[in-house]
């Protein structure tokens, strides 16, 4: 709807939308007048009068607040009746992520995106690819999550791949697997046998699910990425460590998916080259 309206047309539209908004609430003219801070007669004039004049800004703002709509919508400046804060809440969600409490939320996101391609940049090697012994080693020190919980969550997501509901693309920095194979950084102290078994597990799953599961390795010196997951066109989620930031509006989902696509395009190893790279890493584990 064009924002440029004749003042009389805008006044008519204001009355129509004020009437519409009032009809969708439990308020009557008297209670609305009380909420706005005006006489009942003033509300009656706003609803049924034929004056080409609009009420003052205070009355418009208080009316919008009382009725749970935006002042811009009442004035015909937008076709969306939601308030800005409500629109933001609908398109952006912050979810707590203490490595235990969000397993059901993550699984629900995956299930909701069934049939769409899911794109993932993990914080470490993805749990869905890990051996049980790797998960036990990793989650043993965790206060918020047990190894059994981690194994159960990983198996749930692996089952989604077995059910053939979605394609999965995973992009990781090359250095993540290098550090893993050498037991450096995050993986310090990981026994050699665990590392060998873990590489064998990735090779096994890659062979079992390719091309449904595709794994790419990118150079983080050229392109950096925070941990993200894109659930088809539905939403994109950024992992912040203690919380997830989930976006649902098309513009941001597309932007994050385009970022993921750039990681794939610029990858040092694509999914067909991955097995050979893993075999080389495996041979050098000691």
Mean pLDDT of 234-254: 87
Per-residue CA distances from 184 to 11, 94, 132, 170, 285 (Å): 69, 32, 20, 22, 12
Mean pLDDT of 170-189: 97
pLDDT for the residue 87: 47
Nearest Cα neighbor of 257 from 114, 117, 110, 106 is 117
pLDDT for the residue 2: 45
pLDDT for the residue 229: 95
Dump pLDDT digits (tens) for 26-55.
889 999 999 999 999 888 888 887 777 888
Residue 8 tokens read as 């009389």
Asked whether the predicted pLDDT for residue 3 surpasses 60, the reply is: no
Average pLDDT over the chain, rounded to an integer: 86
Dump pLDDT digits (tens) for 154-177.
888 888 888 877 899 999 999 999
Coarse DSSP helix, strand, coil percentages of the chain, rounded to the nearest 5 percent: 50, 15, 35
SS3 for 123-154, per residue?
Answer: CCCCHHHCCHHHHHHHHCCCCCCCHHHHHHHH
pTM score, two decimals? 0.67
pLDDT for the residue 98: 46
Query: What kind and span of H or E run contains 216?
Result: strand 213-218
Dump pLDDT digits (tens) for 88-124.
555 555 555 444 434 677 888 888 888 899 999 999 9
User: Which of residues 3 and 207 earns the better pLDDT score?
Assistant: 207
Please state the separation of Cα 206 from the chain's center in Å.
26
Dump pLDDT digits (tens) for 119-159.
999 999 999 999 999 999 988 776 556 778 778 888 888 88
């Amino acid at each position: 709807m064009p924002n440029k309206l004749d003042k009389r047309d805008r006044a008519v539209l204001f009355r129509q939308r004020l009437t519409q908004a009032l009809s969708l609430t439990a308020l009557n003219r008297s209670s609305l007048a009380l909420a706005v801070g005006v006489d009942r007669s003033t509300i009656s004039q706003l609803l049924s009068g034929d004056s080409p004049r609009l009420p003052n800004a205070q009355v418009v703002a208080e009316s919008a607040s009382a009725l749970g709509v935006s002042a811009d919508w009442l004035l015909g400046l937008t076709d969306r009746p939601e308030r800005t804060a409500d629109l933001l809440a609908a398109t952006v969600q912050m979810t707590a992520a203490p490595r235990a409490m969000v397993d059901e939320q993550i699984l629900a996101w995956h299930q909701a995106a069934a049939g769409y391609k899911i794109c993932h940049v993990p914080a470490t090697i993805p749990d869905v690819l890990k051996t049980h012994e790797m998960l036990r080693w990793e989650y043993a020190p965790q206060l918020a999550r047990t190894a059994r919980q981690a194994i159960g969550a990983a198996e749930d997501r692996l089952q989604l791949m077995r059910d053939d509901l979605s394609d999965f693309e995973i992009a990781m920095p090359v250095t993540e697997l290098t550090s893993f194979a050498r037991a450096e950084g995050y993986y310090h102290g990981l026994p050699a046998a665990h590392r060998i078994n873990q590489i064998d597990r990735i090779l096994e799953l890659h062979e079992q699910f390719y091309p449904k599961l595709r794994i790419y390795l990118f150079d983080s010196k050229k392109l950096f990425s925070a941990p993200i997951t894109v659930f088809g066109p539905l939403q994109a989620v950024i992992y912040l460590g203690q919380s997830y930031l989930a976006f649902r509006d098309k513009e941001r989902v597309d932007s994050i998916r385009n970022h993921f696509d750039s990681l794939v395009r610029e990858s040092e190893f694509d999914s067909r080259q991955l097995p050979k790279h893993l075999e080389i890493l495996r041979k050098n584990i000691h």
